[in-house]
Amino acid sequence: MKKRDYSYTQNRELSWLKFDDRVLKEAKDNTVPLLERLNFISIFTSNLDEFYMIRCGSLFDLTLIDEDDWDNKTGWSPQEQLDAIFKATKPLYEERDLIFDEIAKDLRKYGIVKHNFNELNSKFRQYATQYFYENVAPLLSPQIIDSYHPFPHMANKKLYIYCILERGASKKKNSKEYIGLIPIPYSLPDYVKFPDTNEFILMEDLVYAFAEGIFTNYRVKYRTVAAVTRNADINLQDTPIDEDEDYRHFMKNILKKRKRLSPIRLEFYKSNDSTYTKYLRKELGLHKNQVFLTQSPINLDFIHDFIKELPGDVTDDLTFLEFTPQRTSQIDPNKSLFKQLDKKDILLFYPYQTMDHFLDFLKEAANDPEVLSIKITLYRVARTSRVIKYLIEALDNDKEVTVLIELRARFDEKNNIHYAELLEEAGCQILYGFVDYKVHSKICTVTKKHNGTIKQYTQIGTGNYNEKTARLYVDYCYLTSNQEIGDDATEFFKNLALANLQGHYNKFLVAPTSLRSGIMNLIDKEIAKAKNNQPAEILMKMNSFTDRRIIDKIAKASKAGVTVKMIIRGICCIIPGLKDKTDNIEIRGIVGRYLEHSRVYAFGVGEDRILYISSADMMTRNTAKRVEIACPIEDKAIKARILEDLDIMLKDDIKGRRINSDGDYECIQQARHINSQEFFQQRAIDEMKDVKVKKDNPNFLNSVVDKIKSIFN
């Protein structure tokens, strides 16, 4: 076997930590409004939580297996990877604490104050005390741990006040120590806001302050706030489903099992005295390198709700200027969307353009008497979903509706189970996909019969059918009446219904069968061009890049002289800029107000360039373990618009960063002063302004021509 070359690759988990550090550094940017900087710390924390629950969880599982499972980017064992992760995480906690403290001090200037109980003035102290005894104390369930009160199950990410208690004689040698735990109930609010102010105290700080009064007849010798992070990566292949078992019921049981998976991390807020916390670590079976101390709150989810409670005159200066996703000039809201699609393809660019257009497409399909069927894949949908509403509306109007709903969309399982039951009760044909493959594709197809002719209208997306995330994630939504794409869409849904992964498609590249091989073939064509001294270029945008086979192929393309440009938001396992290996590869990433989520793959130069949009990243989990679609964009105007978007992103020197030959992020010195996300916001606004000007002024074009002539004269 050929020896693996690790010189141009890096571990995916450490790459993810570098990305999350990049998110955290946005909180240091003084040009970002203060509350948005606080929000970036919250995003960083949520990312880190999920990282430990999923990525570290899966590595932990691998350490329990006898057979070796080496990382194909570094050659490290699972335990070596975990040790490197734990070591790399500690500086991130320290950095977060410093940034949080700095922002908290700046927010005090605006009257936004997070208090500790011991710093409260008499008025606030009286209010907090009364609130505690009336609203908090009755809900608490403190516990002493001894031979009659065994160590309890500590729920994932739940907050606990952990205490060392003394009882007996006051002299140390005659006193006896006990462990005390106070779980913070989920039913309690995250914080208590003081009346007529923007000042507050966190619930854990309030309960922490009253520990003495909770454990009556004991002296509190030591106390801290603790939370355990548990493995949330359930391997369904190790939990076979019985032939006669309902799949939804099976998934409900799996979700219950997740709550009791192994601990992977222990966090302390305020204090981590190893003398006193050693007991807790040992009970959870954790090594000391899995224990982390934070001086900023463990749970920062409260930030979102707190910002919503603040009055507008406060938030105006401390948050981003409000932006409303725009309607697109491509669509006339007064005409049938299907008739408009008969004439041209349409591209939407979220969140700069509104998802309402796609919802209008679904609503029209639900109520059009000529529509026969609607088929759609659902991976993540909003808690209150208009997509579900219109699908049920279509069922009420006797349309055939088929929905592939992925019950294994991590952390959205309960929501998807709920909607699967709701749709099935309404008469929808529900599909659940495949045993070993998640269906991650974003496709919707509508079949219509007009004047005896059957026609397909298809939507392909890079993001979910989720109204909430469509306002936060950068994604493409492509609508077309192209019959070849419609035929592929019909074939795709037929194969889903027949559990067939080996389908043949004329236009689509579909994982797990043809996506990876199709991409590699396109890379090979660019390599062949470069070897023949022809212009050759590869341009890719994705969330993460980890597929070792495609990484090696991209490195080969670089060696052959192919120009490779990549825009990668998250994990990137290839190291660019290494002499004679990856020196023709340039990689950039953008972290800003919105989450970059679109996937685009382009090959070649000029008019012959081939371009796909996709739901898939170039990750092994996408190319080999999921059902994904890459759809070609052949409409010249739409292809040009997407390439223009990518060009703007590559020029971003405000929120963009370049990955250097050490695999780290560095600032881009271009002096262009382009913030791509702000550019796309303004472009969306300007395009709709132009539509209004044209509508209000029929002689608009003539006036523009006259203005241009006057400039040249």
pLDDT 10s digits, 129-153: 999 999 999 999 999 998 788 999 9
Q: Is the pLDDT of residue 237 over 90?
A: no
Specify the fold of 510-674: Endonuclease; Chain A (3.30.870)
pLDDT 10s digits, 291-325: 999 999 999 999 999 999 999 989 998 999 999 99
47 among annotated binding-site residues: yes
pLDDT band at 245 (very low <50, low <70, confident <90, very high): low
Q: Is the pLDDT of residue 265 over 50?
A: yes
Query: Rounded to whole angstroms, how far apart are CA atoms 251 and 598?
Result: 29
pLDDT 10s digits, 656-697: 999 999 999 999 887 779 999 999 999 999 999 877 666 556
pLDDT (average), residues 23-42: 96
Q: Is the pLDDT of residue 240 over 60?
A: no
Q: Are 484 and 506 in contact (CB under 8 A)?
A: yes
pLDDT 10s digits, 582-616: 999 999 999 999 999 999 999 999 989 999 999 99
Q: Is the pLDDT of residue 421 over 60?
A: yes
Q: Are 513 and 502 in contact (CB under 8 A)?
A: yes
**Tokens representing residue 689 in the block:** 């302004």
User: Is 440 considered catalytic here?
Assistant: yes
Can you give the pLDDT at residue 711? 40
Q: Is the pLDDT of residue 710 over 90?
A: no
In angstroms, the Cα distances linking 519 to 301, 319, 508, 538 are 39, 41, 12, 11
Return the residue matching tokens 């990137």.
572
Can you give the pLDDT at residue 706? 58
- CATH homologous superfamily for the domain 12-316: Polyphosphate kinase middle domain (3.30.1840.10)
Can you give the pLDDT at residue 260? 65
Lowest mean pLDDT segment, chosen from 92-96, 136-140, 241-245, 668-672? 241-245
260 among annotated binding-site residues: no
**Tokens representing residue 422 in the block:** 């709701």
pLDDT (average), residues 546-558: 98
Highest mean pLDDT among 66-80, 310-324, 521-535: 521-535
Instruction: Identify the CA nearest to 59 among candidates 83, 87, 88, 89.
Output: 83
12-316 against 337-507: fold identical: no
The rounded Cα 438 to chain-centroid distance in angstroms is 17
Q: What is the percentage of the chain residues whose pLDDT exceeds 90?
A: 80
Q: Are 187 and 196 in contact (CB under 8 A)?
A: no
Q: Is the pLDDT of residue 174 over 90?
A: no
Strand partners, 630: 509, 614
**Tokens representing residue 414 in the block:** 């309960």
pLDDT 10s digits, 338-396: 999 999 999 999 999 999 999 999 999 999 999 999 999 999 999 899 999 999 999 99
Instruction: Identify the CA nearest to 477 among candidates 328, 587, 664.
Output: 328
380 among annotated binding-site residues: yes
Query: Rounded to whole angstroms, how far apart are CA atoms 472 and 519?
Result: 29
Residue 692, Cβ neighbours under 10 Å: how many?
10
Instruction: Identify the CA nearest to 229 among candidates 199, 264, 205, 190.
Output: 264
Query: Rounded to whole angstroms, how far apart are CA atoms 171 and 168?
Result: 8
pLDDT band at 65 (very low <50, low <70, confident <90, very high): confident
Helices 700-712, 676-696: axis angle to 10 degrees equals 110
Q: What residue ranges do the domains of the chain occupy? A: 12-316, 337-507, 510-674, 678-712
pLDDT (average), residues 35-58: 94
Can you give the pLDDT at residue 69? 80
**Three-class SS string for 233-283?**
CCCHHHCCCCCCCCHHHHHHHHHHHHCCCCEEEEEEECCCCHHHHHHHHHH
pLDDT 10s digits, 97-135: 999 999 999 999 999 999 999 999 999 999 999 999 999
473 among annotated binding-site residues: yes
Q: Is the pLDDT of residue 43 over 80?
A: yes
pLDDT (average), residues 220-243: 76
- CATH homologous superfamily for the domain 337-507: Endonuclease Chain A (3.30.870.10)
Can you give the pLDDT at residue 513? 97
Average pLDDT, the chain: 91
Can you give the pLDDT at residue 620? 96
Catalytic residue among 440, 450, 504, 673: 440
Query: Rounded to whole angstroms, how far apart are CA atoms 57 and 413?
Result: 18
410 among annotated binding-site residues: yes
Return the residue matching tokens 């600032």.
667
Phi, psi of 363 (to 5 degrees): -65, -45
Q: Is the pLDDT of residue 655 over 50?
A: yes
- Where in 96-218 does DSSP place strands (E)? 112-115, 143-145, 160-168, 175-183, 191-193, 198-202
Q: Is the pLDDT of residue 713 over 50?
A: no
Confidence (pTM): 0.91
pLDDT band at 226 (very low <50, low <70, confident <90, very high): very high
In angstroms, the Cα distances linking 398 to 318, 403, 404, 489, 659 are 50, 15, 19, 22, 53
In angstroms, the Cα distances linking 112 to 107, 141, 189, 308 are 5, 31, 18, 13
Strand partners, 613: 600, 631
22 among annotated binding-site residues: no
Q: Are 606 and 549 in contact (CB under 8 A)?
A: no
The rounded Cα 114 to chain-centroid distance in angstroms is 28
